[in-house]
């Protein structure tokens, strides 16, 4: 019996190793080490991170904080090829940035969707932590729907639906790829939140909209309500009446914001915007792009034992 158990364990380990090796083989050539000179108070400083090939014509995807204060730098690939890169667009409020290489780059990897991830899914992180090129770590999705506070100028925002993983991340991992077992990039590694806790910006419909705006326009125009929210269950009475099990609890209303002027309060449970249900954080964020600026927007909320409708007029978000 022990022989069969040991054989089964070895087969499981071999299968795990094959998955990680396969992901590494496909992604290491497509994740570059980034070096930039950024403007800091009193002069310049060198900084580094990672970037993933985005398009065959030379675009790379990284974190905004990796290139903060920089306009250009270099990208070095595992092949030893080094190319100059320029910052095309950077969006600190999603912690995403797009670069353009002056020379040829490898073909891009396949991109997947973070929306298909589940807690416990195997993921592999590829990057260049601590200056160690082509580093690979593996783990699982520890949690989904985490929030990561970010700031740009005077504006603050929560990057919603962040992926939490126990795959080891270190300084320099930022901007690297988080991939699933089929080597599809499902996140961009962005932060180390503590011992054994790494975070990645998800690759999903909202992030693709941001990436395309950065690639084509160099910036992202957003609407601003002035809310910080978190998913929360609806009280049974309202869940039964609406068929909706979750909503967004307002945990902060920014002073002087459109949300405050509309009368929203901390503790309100947002059910819908213009009749569209709000079941998770991303469902609100995807509505707050440029076309929402200046448009009367009806928000439905549960406040205590009552349903409340308010009208807000989103303002342009100044970053």
Same domain, 145 and 184: yes
User: Do 227 and 149 sit in the same domain of this protein?
Assistant: no
Residue 5: the pLDDT is 58
Q: Determine whether 59 is an active site residue.
A: no
- Comparing 21-25, 120-124, 202-206, 260-264, the range with the smallest average pLDDT is 202-206
- Give residue 14's pLDDT band: very low, low, confident or very high (50, 70, 90): confident
| Residues 306, 275 share a domain | yes
Does residue 108 sit within a domain? no
Active-site residue flag, 174: yes
Within-domain flag for 19: no
**Catalytic residue list contains 95:** yes
* Cα separation, 201 vs 230, whole angstroms: 17
> pTM for this structure?
0.78
**211: in domain:** no
Q: Which of 205, 237, 272 is the last residue of a domain?
A: 205
- Asked if residue 189 and residue 268 are part of one domain, the reply reads no
Q: Which domain holds residue 286?
A: 223-316
Confidence class of residue 154 from pLDDT cuts 50, 70 and 90?
A: very low
CATH code, domain carrying 241: 2.30.42.10
Is the pLDDT at 149 greater than 90, yes or no?
Answer: no
The active-site residue, picked from 94, 174, 207, 283, is 174
In a domain, residue 218? The reply is no
Residue 3 pLDDT > 60: no
d(CA 267, CA 213): 33
pLDDT score, position 12: 67
pLDDT category at 8 given cuts 50, 70, 90 is: confident
For residue 40, being part of any structural domain is answered with: no
N- to C-terminal Cα separation, the chain:
64
Do the Cβ atoms of 49 and 172 come closer than 8 Å?
yes
pLDDT per residue over 63-72, tens digit each? 998 998 899 9
User: Which one from 68, 91, 95, 180 is the annotated catalytic residue?
Assistant: 95
Q: Indicate the residue among 176, 205, 234 that finishes a domain.
A: 205
Number of domains in the chain: 2
Q: Which of 104-118, 125-139, 163-177, 209-223 has the highest mean pLDDT?
A: 104-118
Closest Cα partner for 282 from 111, 142, 151, 115? 115
């Amino acid at each position: 019996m022990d022989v069969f158990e040991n054989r089964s364990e070895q087969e499981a380990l071999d299968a795990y190793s094959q998955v990680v090796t396969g992901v590494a083989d496909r992604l290491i050539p497509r994740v570059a080490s980034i070096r930039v000179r950024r403007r800091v108070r009193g002069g310049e400083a060198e900084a580094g991170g990672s970037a993933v090939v985005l398009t065959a014509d030379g675009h790379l995807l990284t974190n905004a904080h990796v290139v903060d204060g920089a306009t250009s730098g270099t990208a070095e690939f595992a092949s030893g090829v080094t190319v100059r890169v320029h910052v095309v667009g950077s969006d600190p409020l999603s912690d995403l940035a797009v670069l353009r290489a002056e020379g040829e780059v490898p073909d891009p990897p396949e991109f997947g969707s973070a929306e298909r991830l589940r807690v416990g899914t195997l993921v592999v992180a590829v990057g260049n932590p601590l200056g160690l090129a082509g580093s690979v770590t593996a783990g699982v999705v520890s949690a989904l729907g985490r929030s990561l506070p970010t700031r740009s100028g005077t504006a603050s925002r929560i990057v919603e639906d962040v992926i939490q993983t126990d795959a080891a991340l270190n300084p320099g991992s930022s901007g690297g790829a988080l991939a699933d077992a089929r080597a599809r990039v499902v996140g961009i590694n962005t932060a180390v939140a503590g011992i054994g806790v790494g975070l990645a910006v998800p690759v999903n419909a909202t992030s693709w909209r941001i990436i395309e705006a950065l690639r084509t326009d160099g910036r992202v125009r957003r609407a601003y309500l002035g809310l910080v929210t978190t998913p929360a269950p609806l009280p049974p009475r309202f869940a039964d009446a609406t068929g909706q099990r979750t909503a967004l609890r307002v945990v902060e209303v920014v002073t002087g914001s459109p949300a405050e002027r509309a009368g929203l309060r901390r503790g309100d449970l947002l059910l819908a915007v213009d009749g569209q249900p709000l079941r998770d954080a991303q469902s609100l964020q995807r509505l707050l792009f440029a076309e929402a600026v200046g448009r009367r927007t009806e928000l439905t909320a549960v406040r205590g034992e009552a349903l409340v409708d308010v009208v807000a007029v989103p303002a342009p978000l100044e970053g």
